[in-house]
């Protein structure tokens, strides 16, 4: 059973939907990388053996009663982590693209930097900056759109390899973008004057299955996310804003 | 123009009947049928009030009376669809929150069972 082990406790969450081919390896990699840290697989109502494979690999399971999509799935994990009293949560995708060896570095940075969120980035420092195709175009577009909103460059805004502390967990457990959450989540944090950092991380090609974002969905994705970003910019929830120091 | 108004009358009566039958068979809830009843009654009244349409056409400088009829009915349905989108969005949010709650409670129940 998952339980926060005290101050500084970490939970690794793995949102998964029909990832029976990859989930066991992902869970095992995480457990090898951070042996004492509980792993929670959030199953978004898979129709295959994702739950069984994850359980056999040693993960705890949060099984959603019907398919909610990535945002709803991740938020369920954040809500449970917050309720159980965890101070840090790191999200790893269930398709095996994220390298579990990077989890300790993200955790260290979360604890030591005082940032509310640390993003495992493929592109920070210029690596892989010139990705071709529609995906590269989309990432470059989002970088430019986010630059004036966030007041700084974010090199890998679509990365799902993120760690958050309890303050961000509190916000995300109440308000989290539902469909394509990564980019909008940055704006949600920025609106509350939270800080984030990017940390260079390795990414692998997905082990099995197909990405939920197919080329045909890409245009819709770009439009949807841009809408979400601008709406989040316009939305003002004063009760979440921090008071300036000395103010 | 007269035949257009007659078609609108027939359509609005059909809509009234469909809404009434749907409510009676509980295919739509009463609170959501009210908007449809109001829209179909409004369509019916409009189709039987030619002078009013002519007045609106002149008053707003619309070139054609059928266009006034089309614009008025179109506006009503746009408002209705927008209201329904708001209701659907709210229901979806509730549904997601509820599904998450169910999953978390089931997780707690499972944990308690394991502890016993």
**Residues 6 or more apart in contact with residue B102 via CB below 8 angstroms:** A65
Q: Do the domain assignments include residue B53?
A: yes
Identify the pLDDT of residue A141.
87
Q: Do the domain assignments include residue B102?
A: no
> B106 vs A63: CB contact, 8 Å cut-off?
yes
Identify the pLDDT of residue A206.
66
Residue B75: domain span: 2-83
Identify the pLDDT of residue A226.
87
CB-CB neighbors (< 8 A) of A1 in chain B: 111, 114-115
CB-CB neighbors (< 8 A) of B111 in chain A: 1-2
Identify the pLDDT of residue A232.
80
CB-CB: which of A61, A66, A83 is closest to B99? A66
Q: What is the pLDDT of residues B24-72, one digit of tens each?
A: 998 998 888 998 999 999 889 988 888 888 888 899 888 888 888 889 9
Q: What is the pLDDT of residues B83-99, one digit of tens each?
A: 999 999 999 999 999 99
Tokens matching residue A222: 């770009």
Q: Do the domain assignments include residue B107?
A: no
Count of CB pairs separated by less than 8 Å, A with B: 37
Query: What is the reported pTM?
Result: 0.83
Half-sphere exposure of B47 (CA within 13 A, CB side): 20
The second-level CATH assignment, the architecture, of A10-236 is Alpha-Beta Complex (3.90)
> A2 vs B102: CB contact, 8 Å cut-off?
no
Identify the pLDDT of residue A72.
95
Domain count, chain B: 1
> Is A173 at the interface with chain B, CB within 8 A?
no
> From the DSSP assignment, how many helices (H) and strands (E) are in chain A?
8, 7
The three-class DSSP label of residue A202 is coil
Helices (H), chain A: 23-33, 50-56, 70-84, 103-113, 133-150, 166-174, 181-191, 215-234
Residue of chain A minimizing CA distance to B113: A1
Residue A210 region by backbone torsions, left for phi larger than 0, else alpha for psi between -120 and 50, else beta: beta
Q: Do the domain assignments include residue B101?
A: no
Identify the pLDDT of residue A86.
95
Best mutation target, B100, B105, B112, B115, to test chain A (most A CBs within 10 A): B100
> A79 vs B102: CB contact, 8 Å cut-off?
no
> B99 vs A72: CB contact, 8 Å cut-off?
yes
All residue ranges of chain A with pLDDT < 50 are: 129, 238-247
Q: Do the domain assignments include residue B100?
A: no
From B111's Cα to the closest Cα of chain A, the distance in A is 6
CA distance A115 to B89: 33
Q: What is the pLDDT of residues B3-37, one digit of tens each?
A: 888 898 999 999 999 999 999 998 998 888 998 99
Best mutation target, B95, B103, B113, to test chain A (most A CBs within 10 A): B103
């Amino acid at each position: 059973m998952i339980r926060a082990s005290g101050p500084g406790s970490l939970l690794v969450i793995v949102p998964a939907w029909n990832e029976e081919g990859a989930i066991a390896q992902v869970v095992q990699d995480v457990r090898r990388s951070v042996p004492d840290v509980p792993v929670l697989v959030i199953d978004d109502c898979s129709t295959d053996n994702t739950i069984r494979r994850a359980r056999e690999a040693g993960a705890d399971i949060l099984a959603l009663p019907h398919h909610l999509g990535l945002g709803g799935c991740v938020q369920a994990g954040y809500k449970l982590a917050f309720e159980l009293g965890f101070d840090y949560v790191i999200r790893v995708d269930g398709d095996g693209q994220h390298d579990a060896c990077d989890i300790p570095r993200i955790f260290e940075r979360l604890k030591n930097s005082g940032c509310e969120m640390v993003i495992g980035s493929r592109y920070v420092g210029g690596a892989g900056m010139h990705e071709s195709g529609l995906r590269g175009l989309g990432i470059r577009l989002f970088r430019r759109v986010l630059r004036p909103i966030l007041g700084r460059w974010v090199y890998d805004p679509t990365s799902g390899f993120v760690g958050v502390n309890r303050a961000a967990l509190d916000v995300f457990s109440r308000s989290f973008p539902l469909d394509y959450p990564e980019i909008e989540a940055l704006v949600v944090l920025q609106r509350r004057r939270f800080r984030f950092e990017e940390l260079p991380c390795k990414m692998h090609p997905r082990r099995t299955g197909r990405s939920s974002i197919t080329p045909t969905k890409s245009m819709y994705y770009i439009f949807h996310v841009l809408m979400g970003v601008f709406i989040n910019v316009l939305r003002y929830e004063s009760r979440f804003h921090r008071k300036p120091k000395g103010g | 123009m007269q035949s257009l108004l007659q078609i609108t009358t027939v359509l609005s009566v059909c809509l009234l009947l469909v809404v009434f039958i749907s409510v009676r068979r509980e295919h739509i809830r009463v609170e959501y049928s009210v908007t449809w009843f109001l829209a179909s009654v409004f369509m019916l009244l409009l189709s039987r009030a030619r002078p009013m349409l002519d007045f609106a056409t002149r008053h707003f400088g619309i070139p054609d009376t059928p266009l006034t009829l089309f614009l008025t009915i179109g506006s009503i349905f746009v408002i209705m669809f927008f209201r329904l989108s708001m209701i659907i969005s709210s229901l979806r949010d509730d549904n997601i929150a509820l599904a998450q709650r169910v999953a978390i409670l089931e997780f707690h129940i499972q944990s308690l069972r394991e502890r016993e």
